[in-house]
A and B are shown apart, each in its own frame.
Chain A
């Protein structure tokens, strides 16, 4: 397995809107590559007879009835927002995209 490239980390950072310095990228591409390589060892152990598994516990159809439960108050909902305005979460200017 090839490890994670520095350019992959830069791309992920851009997708996640995280500003990273060159030093950050150097350091994290090393650390993240180690994690990815470790996890990739699972693929070496699992043979053809082991199917890809997303849900190891054999359960399905755990649903909830369509009944309204109490919501948070607006005040509680906004209580941990860094900034709020008009009952809404206030977020910085969204650049380069259109809603």
Chain B
């Protein structure tokens, strides 16, 4: 085992990194044909002559995908090229039906942008964006025989359902100046992209399904001597770690690569400029195909597709649809709602922010909205193994339910029963309260009768209360709640008991 660590590497070297993120768009159809773009179908059932690359077939661009790419570019602060074109990237691999991938090369649609990422402690780091371009995804290989990996496989099987699915690839500029926070910045950058594509509603942003995939470039250079400019020190040789597909893996891959490269450099050995593969199980990388061979893609303009020339009016129209930066929106909402860091993190992790916001917009207080979505409803969603969004309850329902509590019509216990009814499809909270007869018994004479009955059944309680053991009233409150099937206002019941005992509440 190597004694080199990320922290030690950062003490001795200055890291430079870059990230390529591939976003799978959530269009209904593929980039260049009308086949459905949907995850999980039977193999080779979402394919046609275009995405199988059969002779004579012709691609046509999906307008929605172009729109999504431009909106993403605008969210990343990019300029939108007045005329951009597609290019063929030639390479031979079984998951690529045509033996070339339609991509963009010298004229990407979006270029020259930047985006702020917010680290956990609130520090803001600006990432330069070189380009964001459109391309198509490849099919999926399954290796048969051996251990399931490519090594030792006897043959491979290819499913082209994913072939031709629209992607946007976002390429950063080389990122310098992050120092020891490099791994954190890289993670926060990919998280920001993921959050933004979800907010833009152009991708489901699900990293575990491959909707957001990252390749991480990293190099180390010597630290500048005191008084010298770090930016005058030339970059070192970089490695490119492919398919790092979770936020945690981004951090781990950078930790691993920094330590690996530092160890080589300190031993006087060269870092090879190469593609490397990430191994989630061991948290390490191994070399892939050699760069010289892999990089010869012989790009040329795609003759079967016409240039994309978005009008300036359209671009401005799309610009007006760009949502607020997700991290900045979170900071704003956290303050407006009075949430703690933990409240906010939990709500984000549960993907409940939009629901809470909609509930607040429907009239509920933020803390009440949070309590419902993160409590009862989160439990129900978990039990049913669905997302909060998939529950048959709307933010308006939740706001209405809370309104009934605030008006004293129902108590918390009855509210949970009303919610059960809503979840069972019995209607709105008000309708369920009416149909199930859940209203709090607010008629004092009915409550007084119930209290008297309970006191008669437990004759020693009154004496105890009068003796100063006020907590003895709890037994009577419980009995009354039971007798009224939970529909009594416990506070009012307690008051009546104390009145009966002749003591002040």
Contact = CB atoms under 8 A, between A and B. Distances in A.
Interface of A: 11, 14-17, 54-55, 57, 59-74, 77-78, 85-94, 96-99
Interface of B: 27-29, 33-36, 42-49, 52, 60-66, 83, 85, 90-95, 99, 141-144, 149-151, 153-160, 277, 288-289, 293, 296, 298, 301, 303, 306-310
B141 A99 contact: yes
B85 A54 contact: yes
Given A60-B309, A69-B34, A94-B156, A77 B60 contact: no
A54 B303 contact: yes
A64 B50 CA distance: 14
Contact of A62 (B48, B60, B303): B60
Contacts of B90: 15
A85 to B, nearest CB: 6
A66 B62 contact: yes
| Binding site secondary structure of chain A | loop
18 contacts: A55-B306, A63-B60, A63-B61, A64-B63, A65-B64, A67-B28, A67-B29, A77-B160, A78-B44, A85-B157, A88-B44, A89-B94, A90-B158, A93-B153, A96-B289, A97-B93, A98-B277, A99-B141
B306 A60 contact: yes
A20 B48 CA distance: 33
Nearest to B154: A93
Contacts of B28: 66-68
Given A55-B85, A61-B306, A99-B95, A66 B141 contact: no
A39 to B, nearest CB: 13
B29 A69 contact: yes
Contacts of B91: 15
Nearest to A57: B306
Contacts of B303: 54-55
A82 to B, nearest CB: 12
Given A67-B29, A72-B52, A98-B288, 13 more contacts: A55-B301, A62-B60, A64-B34, A64-B62, A66-B28, A66-B63, A68-B29, A71-B48, A87-B159, A89-B157, A91-B158, A98-B149, A99-B143
